[in-house]
Amino acid sequence: MKTTLTDRTDDPIIISLKSELELLRYQLVRLAIRSLPQETDLYNALICRCETKAQFYQWQHDAIAAVIGIAAPDAQGRAHCPLCKEGRQSWGSYDDVGYAVPDGLKRHLLGEGKSAQCSILKVVFDLAQDRMRPKFDEEERREHEANNARRRTERLYQIDPSSPAKLIDDLHSLRGARNPEQLKWAETRLRMLGFESDLSGNVMTYRLPHAEFIILADPRELGTIEVRIYPCTPTGKPSRLAAWTRFPLPDPWKNDLPVKFKKLLEDAIISLPSRRGVRR
């Protein structure tokens, strides 16, 4: 069987080459900041001393802020990157005009949008991520085990008929999850709108009866209830290939809530590809 270089991770030559490459990357960073007046402070800001993923992400945020903090904007509020010395090419010419501070420079440092990422900061982040990878893997393993243990004992919420139920705090939101009292309030709100609750084992489902669609509510997030509409087959099962839609129902809404909800639901259903052109 043919062996590639990536298969020979224990080869002394490969180990030596990786070590030399890592040293070269460190030297590249040192050379990039050596001429800066704030060399010591910036170098310390670019050293990752993290132990967890949360600390790592915060360190990245702080490192970017430190680089932006030493930028020297011109009269137009633009500056070249303090690390790689690159700037943004002006529209219609070959002039290098620098990045708008702070937003344009931040996009460059992150490599967002159409901006090429700063080659020096990319090396810094890649080095840190390589070093942190074993800790990330171990943290993810512990999180996975803890998550499975919680799923066996805590209440889960069915918000997608084709996917596993979710834990109360399994959210992509900065607002966080409701506490038990807030969840009871949301459940009362859903009952007023015609939703039925069904507890099967430790899985709770909030469903609005409908002849053509599976309509589920997700009241977990603080401040809003998300309503999800899924097309279903003639047998009442979710259609895996059909598009689905959703809309929020904010907590502060109180006046004429049933009327508002009915209008939102009708508009959401008519927006589905399978219903476009169908008269209400």
Beta bridge partners of 197: 206
Residues 229-249 have a mean pLDDT of 79
Q: Which of 33-37, 131-135, 218-222, 273-277 has the highest mean pLDDT?
A: 218-222
Mean pLDDT of the chain: 84
Q: Per-residue confidence at 189, pLDDT binned at 50, 70, 90? A: very high
- pLDDT at site 215: 95
| 106: nearest Cα among 60, 74, 142 | 60
Q: Per-residue confidence at 280, pLDDT binned at 50, 70, 90? A: very low
- Say whether pLDDT at 67 is over 80: yes
Gap between the Cα atoms of 62 and 45, Å rounded: 7
Q: Per-residue confidence at 277, pLDDT binned at 50, 70, 90? A: very low
Q: What is the pTM of this model?
A: 0.59
Q: Per-residue confidence at 5, pLDDT binned at 50, 70, 90? A: very low
Helix residue ranges per DSSP H, the chain = 12-33, 39-45, 53-69, 103-110, 119-153, 180-192, 257-271
Beta bridge partners of 224: 250
Do residues 230 and 240 lie in contact, with contact meaning Cβ atoms separated by under 8 Å? no
- pLDDT at site 204: 97
Gap between the Cα atoms of 84 and 87, Å rounded: 9
Neighbours of 135 (CB within 10 A): 15
Gap between the Cα atoms of 114 and 212, Å rounded: 43
Helices and strands (H and E) in the chain: how many? 7, 9
Do residues 120 and 32 lie in contact, with contact meaning Cβ atoms separated by under 8 Å? yes
Domain locations in the chain?
Answer: 5-137, 156-275
- pLDDT at site 21: 61
Q: Per-residue confidence at 116, pLDDT binned at 50, 70, 90? A: confident
Least confident of 65-69, 126-130, 248-252, 266-270: 126-130
Gap between the Cα atoms of 95 and 23, Å rounded: 35
